[in-house]
Amino acid sequence: MDKQKEQNTQKPFNLVVLVSGGGTNLQAILDEMKADNLGGARVCLVISNNPDAYALKRAESLGIPTKCISPADYPTRTDFDNALLLALKEAQPELIVLAGYLVILPENVVHEFSGKIINIHPSLIPSFCGKGYYGLKVHEAALSRGVKVSGATVHFVDEGTDTGPILLQKAVYVSEDDTPQTLQRRIMEEAEWKLLPEAIRLLAQKGKDK
Ligand code: GRF
């Protein structure tokens, strides 16, 4: 079978990306997808808990379906958990990518999609991770500890916070004059925006080889 036909008969490797904010990591994924450099993976749905997330606009501008599922719109946390689980089941993703998703993922989702969820964290796990380490807090903690190297980690998601198996890591040097903001930006540019598409590419390739 020629390469084109082989690609056409292959099951698509569908991704659902969960976001909360600006979506620069989502953008990095979309750019690689447009460049046909994501191992055949494609984003089929973007879900945000925040209706104002700019990430939603990035997806919409490419015609990618979006949904807002926010805990604030449900009477109980269990109702939210079930709504998110239902939306994910309907999308039937091969992989769920947390790209700056600030909600603790419901346990029923983690169980249903065990081994099929990855997260990007802006430090070298196990440093500066776990409960309370999100956004600028991660970089504030790294600078106040005085580390000379930080970076980013892509890991599988389990029931804990940032405790799942590590898939990829990339180190980034800390400069003497770094602020939390400059360190955050450099870690995004040098590590996160490369590492997350790379992880997706790896897993998509692995999925196809099965
Ligand atoms: C990134 O630093 C990511 O590592 C963290 O949240 C931030 C999200 O940024 N989990 P963006 O929304 O992708 O721009």
Spacing, Cα 100 to ligand 1 middle (Å): 4
Q: Which amino acid is at 99?
A: A
Question: Which ligand 1 atom minimizes the distance to the CA of 28?
Answer: 13
Rounded Cα distance, 39 and 33, in Å: 9
Does ligand 1 come within 6 angstroms of the Cβ of 27? no
Q: What is the mean pLDDT of residues 203-210?
A: 85
Residue 103 confidence (pLDDT): 94
Quick one: pLDDT at residue 79? 98
> What is the C-alpha separation between 166 and 184, in angstroms, rounded?
20
Tell me how far the alpha carbon of residue 96 is from its chain's centroid: 8
Instruction: In whole angstroms, give the CA distance from residue 81 to residue 50.
Output: 15
Q: State whether residue 157 is helix, strand or coil.
A: coil
DSSP category for residue 188: I
The predicted model gives 150-155 an average pLDDT of: 98
Encode pLDDT of 176-186 as tens digits. Answer: 999 999 999 99
Which position among 111, 121, 139, 155 bears the catalytic label? 121
For residues 4-13, give the mean pLDDT: 61
Tell me if the pTM is above 0.85.
Answer: yes
Of 103, 117, 113, 104, the residue nearest 165 (C-alpha) = 117
Q: Would the CB of 197 count as within 6 Å of ligand 1?
A: no
pLDDT of residue 172: 98
